Amino acid sequence: MDPHVSSQGISETSAPATLPAAPLLTAAWAVFRKDLRSELRTRYALNAILLFAVSTVVAISLGMGPLTTSRNADLPLIQAALLWVAILFAAFTGLSRAFVQEEEARTAAALRLSARPTAVFLGKLLFNLALLLILVGVTTVLFVIMLRVQVGNPGLLAALLLAGSMGLVAATTLIAAIIARASVKGALFAVLSFPLLVPLLTVAIQGSANALAGRGWESGIGSLQVLAGYTIALFTASLFLFNTVWES
């Protein structure tokens, strides 16, 4: 049975009674649906990340113009780096609010009573992943169109963007819970997240450069394996640590 979830938060009265019978994934899905309904109503994070993504790509386009191979021999690497920088900083504006809405609406205590910490973590992670995939899709399309980027291997690029997005979400969801009560949430989120994301960005940029250059899947398998290992490691660590962070 689903725990009772409202668009404002999770009911403190009815949910605890149904929680023991609710499977973990069902409870996590309920948290995800609650966040989705709240976001569709306010569109705060969605508007923020889309505005930042569009502004970043437009600024890069106006500042650099279409890049061609004749202008720089390392064109694919430059384009890949610019793409991931745009994705990263746009993500910082939206993913940091994963737990802020509960603190601002004062429903965090109700959520703690209504769902197990693991279910809360999984639901929030799933919501952040959905939000980030929308951001990545919009940013990549705008980037390709406005900078006239030639994508040599679209399938490999899509796989790398997906793997990188999963790693980014796995690394930042726990950070979002840590900074939810801080007074300078955005700045603290970036400061804590960036060191964790340096390995991911390095591998994702290099792999994306290979995809843009049109190299085969064999050139990207190593990057995909590293990103998968990174995601699993950060997800596992966050899952173990979240209970302490959430209940503190």
In this structure, are residues 111 and 10 in contact, taking their beta carbons and an 8 Å threshold? yes
Q: Which two tokens stand for residue 229?
A: 């290992």
> Bridge-partner residues for 5, per DSSP?
10
Helix axes 218-247, 185-212, angle to 10 degrees: 170
Enter the DSSP assignment of 134. Answer: H
In this structure, what are the phi and psi dihedrals at residue 14, rounded to the nearest 5 degrees?
Answer: -90, -30
- Count the Cβ atoms, other than its own, within 10 Å of residue 244: 9
In this structure, are residues 87 and 139 in contact, taking their beta carbons and an 8 Å threshold? yes
Q: Could you tell me which of 108, 127, 124, 118 has the C-alpha nearest to residue 19?
A: 118
Enter the DSSP assignment of 2. Answer: P
248: number of CA atoms within 13 Å, CB side?
Answer: 10
- Count the Cβ atoms, other than its own, within 10 Å of residue 195: 9
Dihedral angle of Cα 156, 193, 175, 93, to the nearest 10 degrees: -80
In this structure, are residues 189 and 176 in contact, taking their beta carbons and an 8 Å threshold? yes
What pTM was estimated for this model as a whole?
Answer: 0.82
Per-residue pLDDT of the chain (248 residues; tens, 9 = 90+): 444 444 344 443 333 334 443 588 888 999 899 888 888 887 777 787 888 888 888 887 776 666 555 555 678 888 899 999 989 888 888 787 778 777 777 777 888 888 888 999 999 999 999 999 999 999 999 999 888 888 989 999 999 999 999 999 999 999 988 888 766 666 788 888 888 999 999 999 999 999 999 899 999 999 999 999 999 999 999 999 998 888 87
In this structure, are residues 135 and 49 in contact, taking their beta carbons and an 8 Å threshold? yes
pLDDT of residue 20: 45
